[in-house]
Copies of this chain bind each other. A is one copy, B any other.
Amino acid sequence: MAWSIAEVARASGVTARTLRHYHAIGLLVPARTAPNGRRYYEQEQLLRLQQILLLRDLGLSLDVVAEVIAHRSSHDTIAVLARHKEWLLREQLRLAQLVRTVDSTIENLRKGGEMSPEKVFEGFEHNPYEAEARERWGDEAVDASYRRIQGWSEEEAEKARTGYTRVHEGLAALKAEGTAVTELSVQELIQQHYEVTSLFWTPTREAYKGLGQMYVDDERFRQNIGDGDDSLVEYLRDAMTVYADNRLDA
């Protein structure tokens, strides 16, 4: 049984335009195209569309969606999703910081009461052009590396999948034994942490230390890492700081 484009559109909730777009970029090719150019879809394409929409709704880009579906192993899928989750958490954090900044900006304006037009931004005039120092290590680097997910080897995919978990578990054990963060055993685990992180982006020394602090500051990361134990994340941060100072380039 073959479905027309409008039927598929109605059933799936996307527009016909979207289906044509997916055809154009090769993401979803119809089962057959009639001589008059009309597209007809079969069961198989419906299933594929379903997968596409699922992944798309998780926030993945169509590029990545195509990759994932092409590979088709749940292995790779998990790695990609884990990666994607990292990105979502970071993005959330960025927004949280923005909220705080907006908040303090509003406060500043309020305190100034009815400011004269010229002075609206007075609160910021005393630190002009500090833009150069704006901390940018986060988003772009991540964002750029986000697209290179394709080149992963099987080993790397495995690392991306289970890497953080193994590090966290290892750290928890060492911490329970009272091992200092400067100990080699801890630092070796952090080395692994750094390698996993490097799958996604390449942190500089300051960036890596910032990442550790971020884990501590943001409760979304904290929940994810501590698994109940709130102090593990601080242990992790301290160990990361030591690692960064000793092993990473400034």
Please report the C-alpha to C-alpha distance between residue A85 and residue B97 in the assembled complex, in whole angstroms: 11
* Distance, CA A125 to CA B115, complexed state (A): 59
- Contact for A99 among B73, B88, B109, CB less than 8 A: B88
Please, how many angstroms separate the alpha-carbon atoms of A92 and B132 in the complex? 27
Q: How far is the CB of A39 from chain B (nearest CB, A)?
A: 18
Residues of B within 8 A of A85 (CB): 99, 102-103, 106
Shortest CB distance A102–B (Å): 5
Given contacts A58-B102, A85-B99, A85-B103, contact A129 B74 (CB under 8 A): no
How near does chain B come to A127, taking the closest CB pair, in angstroms?
10
Q: Is A142 an interface residue (CB 8 A)?
A: no
Choice from B82, B88, B96, B106 contacting A106 with Cβ under 8 Å: B82
Give the size of the chain A interface in residues (CB under 8 angstroms): 52
Within 8 Å by CB of A124, from B54, B98, B105, B112, lies B54
Q: Are B105 and A98 in contact (CB under 8 A)?
A: no
A151 adjacent to chain B (CB < 8 Å):
no
**Could you give, for residues 69-100 of chain A, a 1 whenever the CB lies within 8 Å of some chain B CB and a 0 otherwise?**
00011110110011011001101100110110
Q: Is A50 an interface residue (CB 8 A)?
A: yes
Chain A residues numbered 45-67 whose CB sits less than 8 Å from any CB in chain B: 46-47, 50-51, 53-54, 57-59
10 residue pairs from A and B, CB less than 8 Å apart: A12-B129, A14-B131, A50-B124, A50-B125, A58-B105, A74-B109, A81-B102, A85-B103, A88-B95, A88-B98
